[in-house]
Chains A and B, each alone.
Chain A
Amino acid sequence: MSHVSNDLLADDIEAYLALHENKSMLRFITCGSVDDGKSTLIGRLLYDSKLVFEDHLAALESDSKKFGTQAGDLDFALLVDGLAAEREQGITIDVAYRFFSTEHRKFIVADTPGHEQYTRNMVTGASTADLAVILIDARKGVLTQTRRHSYIVSLLGIRHVVVAVNKLDLVDYSKEVFDTIEAEYRGFAADIGLSDVVCIPISALRGDNITGASPQTPWYAGPTLIGHLETIEIADDLHVGPLRLPVQWVNRPNLDFRGFSGQIVRGSVRPGDRVRIVPSGLESTVERIVTDDGDLEEAIAGQSITLTLSDEVDVSRGDVIAAAGDPPRVADQFECHLVWMSEAPMLPGRPYLLKLGTRTVGATVGHPKYKVNVNTLEHTATRTLELNEIGVCNLTLDRQVPFDPYVENRDMGGFILIDRFTNQTVGAGLLHFALRRADNVHWQAVEVDKDARARLNSQRPAVVWFTGLSGAGKSTIANLVERTLHQLGFHTYLLDGDNVRHGLNKDLGFTDADRVENIRRVAEVARILVDAGVIVLASFISPFRAERELARRLIGEGQFFEVHVDVPLEVAEARDRKGLYAKARRGELVHFTGIDSPYEPPASPEIRLDASGTVPAVESAGLVVEYLRQCGVLAPPQEPEAATDPS
């Protein structure tokens, strides 16, 4: 709906449609706060592109009189401001998408609040933007928030920036004011690597230099805002690089057709092109580019297509079909920028899920190297990342994945982290490069293996993991179980929370992050002991499901037995053998599980013991031993198969 071509619309609809069907699209983000006139600007863009309908306009006129801040004039901000109800509902992530078009382009605007606590919103909005419009209030100049917005824009790889110096009417359309702001901004932008910067003096309220050159700024010879947005060439070099097609779906309508569907995120492809499947490394040749509109001679970045290959190679969702001559690298350890988006802080060592392209894998984040103060760009040391914080961390995945650095390609290097239990998207990250570290730490092949040691011990190694609140009686029961097993002739070892913290883990405290690391180390030690053929009894509060799951995966199903020593908090607190609950209640002890730190009970433990006091500890221990017997842990190990196959 163009403001220019309305005559054409009325006179020659066919010509009008032909014009509009061939428009390009530009996605941009607006950065600034309401005070900068951001809502007014967006309202103005919608209004000037005739996208405000008569009934909306009537509502706007009456609202402007009622609530407007413009003395009865149209208050464009009212067109876009969020509903009060939404704010009350506590919507946590807020990016509003708005649409308008001119005769040259369709625009999608990501509109995000500009406050500091909304870093995650800006990152979300910026992730799909080709360009950023940064608003500056002419009366205030370059502010802290301007720097913050510019940093995020640069971090997310947006190369084109428009600085809209707004409210110029309030500084008498002063060239000096504009020039000063422009000079200061350009100096700063160069420092953070923003090169394509265009500054435009505007008044969103008065409409100066929005669609038409303003008579109030005869000293300004540059483009109007719309003029610039309509014509800027978004250097679309995406389809110039090597082919990347993350496979979304294997298309098998019948036995004769096997296609691989996905959206090309980089490069182009033609039938006959040699491709490599990553990570498997298999190669083949593109046979057809299949679409419902007929086979294509060529497809480029941005198109959703289906490829068939000339060989029967194994390809599944998550693989990347890539140019054979220039495939992406494959790695499982990276350095990355990480933006934390969850109320619960990032916990180093906790297993998360990572989605990159069409592949989802397990991931743990190391201790942050530093976090970035988005206002000053200073780096500071930290043990974790809180909501809206941005840091640089190492990342370890449980599988090798194909990737390109984020700066080369957003879709091959941008990922999200998902909490395994809440299923929430808790972080977003940008891959920098693969770490070589893993390449140099090879597994030492050993000839005496776990099974051999277990046979010598005449037992089946296992981990019995006792979890529960402090004072539940975990250690008491674990002790009794160990005594019984020992008497029966089994080799055991008891890992106890308190004891481990005197030695191996004496550098750790009780913050969530330290608790995660505590359990990670214990799980690794338990694994070594199991490897050595020992039955391990582990007695730890281990309050978080995620880490117990980590231990379970590390040890392996069938060898890991989770025992929930279940006691109501009131009962444990009433016992308070070590006086810890009383201390925690007095505030002398922080991060105490059950008081000011959560306990996440297991959803389906192998054994649940009632520790409320009605069942004696000896009886509970007996139940555990009996369970282990039934599971075959206490049976002698199987003899190895006759060694007929030396390979």
Chain B
Amino acid sequence: MTRLTHLQRLEAESIQIFREAVAESERPVMLYSVGKDSSVMLHVAMKAFYPSKPPFPLLHVDTTWKFRAMYEFRDKLVEELGVELLVHQNPDCVERGINPFDHGSATHTDLWKTEGLKQALNLHAFDLAFGGARRDEEKSRAKERVFSIRTAQHRWDPKQQRPELWRLYNARKHPGESVRVFPLSNWTELDVWQYINLEKIPIVPLYYAAPRPVVERDGTLIMVDDDRMRLDPGEEPKIRSVRFRTLGCYPLTGAVESTATTLTAIIQEMLLTTTSERQGRVIDHDSSGSMEKKKQEGYF
């Protein structure tokens, strides 16, 4: 071997980040969202510590509104890999029955995900959390660090962010503070798909096209995944061949019409289409400039 391909370099860099983070923290955890980026992150983590298992649990901050296929996929994968999974559902949300229909997507996401995440991190006293965010996802993420320091209130303070030189990461923090670590920072959407293809990484079947019952709302195709979906009067789910480019709460996740039933067909479709990835997420459209705001509040 004389040189590494770009995917080999990215993988080696991510592994180095994983090991560094584990070596410099007391109680690390991996935030696992069941999506394809989480799948890649978990796959790299398995490699980073082999033959040991990753020395941290996975944490799924659940909203109870994910697609059924995501829960099935999650439970099967965790069993196969023999890794520890923690599931946190914000008990306040459970009690109050927070849902996207009555409370709106912003409140729903904020309470289940942002608050839920803070609760879970506090509950287990995790001092470092791996996340699957990438710098290419959005303009404001281009400057995010690989090791991102959060205050005891889980807020992102721009003044506390540290320069990152060479491969040297500074994970030191005061008691109560924590670090978010993004091992896939330098991967792009295309890198992720190529890596999934090359490494044959399992992903949730929802990424592949299949006939699914959907309704069209404001130009977005929403899948009717269970009977909690509220239909408007006269609204009738139609079976269409669709797939999902990102996964989240099913009432908030737009599907795209597609016939791509294989991984290569998905990649081909992705490369030929010209709509950027996050458009499928209803949450981003909700209040403007929202990624930046969510980051400050503690959402990824």
Contact = CB atoms under 8 A, between A and B. Distances in A.
Partners in one complex: yes
A263 B12 contact: yes
A76 interface: no
A93 B170 CA distance: 15
A96 interface: yes
A97 B186 contact: yes
Contacts of B84: none
A83 interface: yes
B208 to A, nearest CB: 15
A521 to B, nearest CB: 29
Contacts of A416: 163, 165, 168, 170
B6 A105 contact: yes
B272 A423 contact: no
Given A108-B186, A251-B49, A93 B161 contact: yes
Contacts of A302: 4, 8-9, 12
B142 to A, nearest CB: 4
A93 B194 contact: no
Nearest to A83: B140
Contact of B46 (A89, A265, A292, A415): A292
Contacts of B198: 21
Interface of A: 1, 9-10, 13-14, 16-17, 20-25, 53-57, 80, 82-83, 85-86, 89-99, 101, 105-106, 108, 111, 120-121, 123-124, 127-128, 236, 239, 248-249, 251-253, 257, 259, 261-263, 265, 290-293, 298, 300, 302-304, 306, 317, 341, 353, 355-356, 358, 410-411, 414-416, 418, 423-425, 428
Contact of B272 (A9, A91, A263, A341): A9
Given A13-B267, A418-B172, A97 B165 contact: no
A253 B53 contact: yes
Contacts of A259: 51
B275 interface: yes
A411 B174 CA distance: 27
B13 to A, nearest CB: 8
6 contacts: A9-B268, A56-B276, A83-B289, A263-B16, A298-B1, A358-B20
A380 B3 CA distance: 43
A53 B271 contact: no
Contacts of B168: 355-356, 414-416
Nearest to A97: B135
Interface in B161-205: 161-168, 170, 172-174, 185-186, 188, 190-191, 194, 197-198
Given A416-B163, A416-B168, A416-B170, 8 more contacts: A17-B197, A21-B5, A21-B7, A25-B9, A82-B139, A124-B163, A128-B166, A306-B51
Given A13-B265, A86-B140, A303-B4, A253 B190 contact: no
A98 B264 contact: no
Given A13-B264, A80-B139, A20 B194 contact: yes
B197 to A, nearest CB: 6
B22 interface: yes
Nearest to B278: A55
Given A85-B289, A303-B4, A423-B170, A93 B275 contact: no
Interface of B: 1-13, 15-16, 19-20, 22-23, 46-53, 135-136, 139-140, 142-143, 158-168, 170, 172-174, 185-186, 188, 190-191, 194, 197-198, 264-265, 267-268, 271-276, 279, 289, 292
B10 to A, nearest CB: 8
B279 A17 contact: no
A457 to B, nearest CB: 41
Nearest to B186: A108
A298 B1 CA distance: 8
Contacts of A91: 143, 158-159, 161
B170 A425 contact: yes
> Which 5 interchain pairs have the tightest Cβ spacing?
A54-B274, A304-B15, A25-B6, A53-B276, A292-B50
B23 A92 contact: no
B170 A355 contact: yes
A98 to B, nearest CB: 6
Contacts of A99: 135-136, 186, 188
Contacts of B265: 13
B50 A291 contact: yes
A415 B12 CA distance: 21
Contact of B190 (A1, A14, A353): A1
Contact of B194 (A21, A57, A95): A21
Q: Is the interface of A mostly helix, strand, loop or mixed?
A: mixed
Contacts of B186: 97, 99, 108
Contacts of A96: 142-143
Contacts of A82: 139, 143
A353 B7 CA distance: 34
A317 B23 contact: yes
B22 A249 contact: yes
Given A56-B276, A304-B15, A424-B162, A249 B23 contact: yes
Q: Is the interface of B mostly helix, strand, loop or mixed?
A: helix
Contact of B51 (A83, A290, A300, A410): A290
Contact of A248 (B7, B23, B53): B23
A306 B159 contact: no
Contacts of A304: 11-13, 15-16, 19, 48
B194 A54 contact: no
A263 B15 contact: yes
Contact of A249 (B19, B173, B197): B19
A317 B191 CA distance: 31
A106 B197 contact: no
Contacts of B19: 248-249, 261-262, 304
B82 to A, nearest CB: 12
Contacts of A261: 19, 48-49
Nearest to A306: B50
B166 A410 contact: yes
Nearest to B193: A17
A262 B15 CA distance: 9
A414 B166 contact: yes
A538 B145 CA distance: 44
Contacts of B4: 24-25, 300, 302-303
B16 A98 contact: no
A53 B10 CA distance: 23
A99 to B, nearest CB: 5
Contacts of B167: 263, 265, 411
A446 to B, nearest CB: 38
Contact of B292 (A25, A83, A106): A83
Contacts of A415: 168
A22 B4 CA distance: 9
Most buried by B among A25, A96, A293, A317: A25
Contacts of B22: 249
A48 B197 CA distance: 26
B50 to A, nearest CB: 4
B190 A101 contact: yes
Contacts of B279: 55
A125 to B, nearest CB: 9
Most buried by B among A98, A101, A303, A304: A304
B5 A23 contact: yes
Nearest to A263: B16
A425 B20 contact: no
Contacts of A23: 5-6
A17 B194 contact: yes
A262 B48 CA distance: 9
Nearest to A424: B162
A199 to B, nearest CB: 27
Nearest to A108: B186
Most buried by A among B1, B167, B274: B167
Contacts of A356: 168
Nearest to B52: A253
A93 B162 contact: yes
B50 A428 contact: no
Contacts of A21: 5, 7, 194, 197-198
Contacts of B190: 1, 20, 101
Nearest to A356: B168
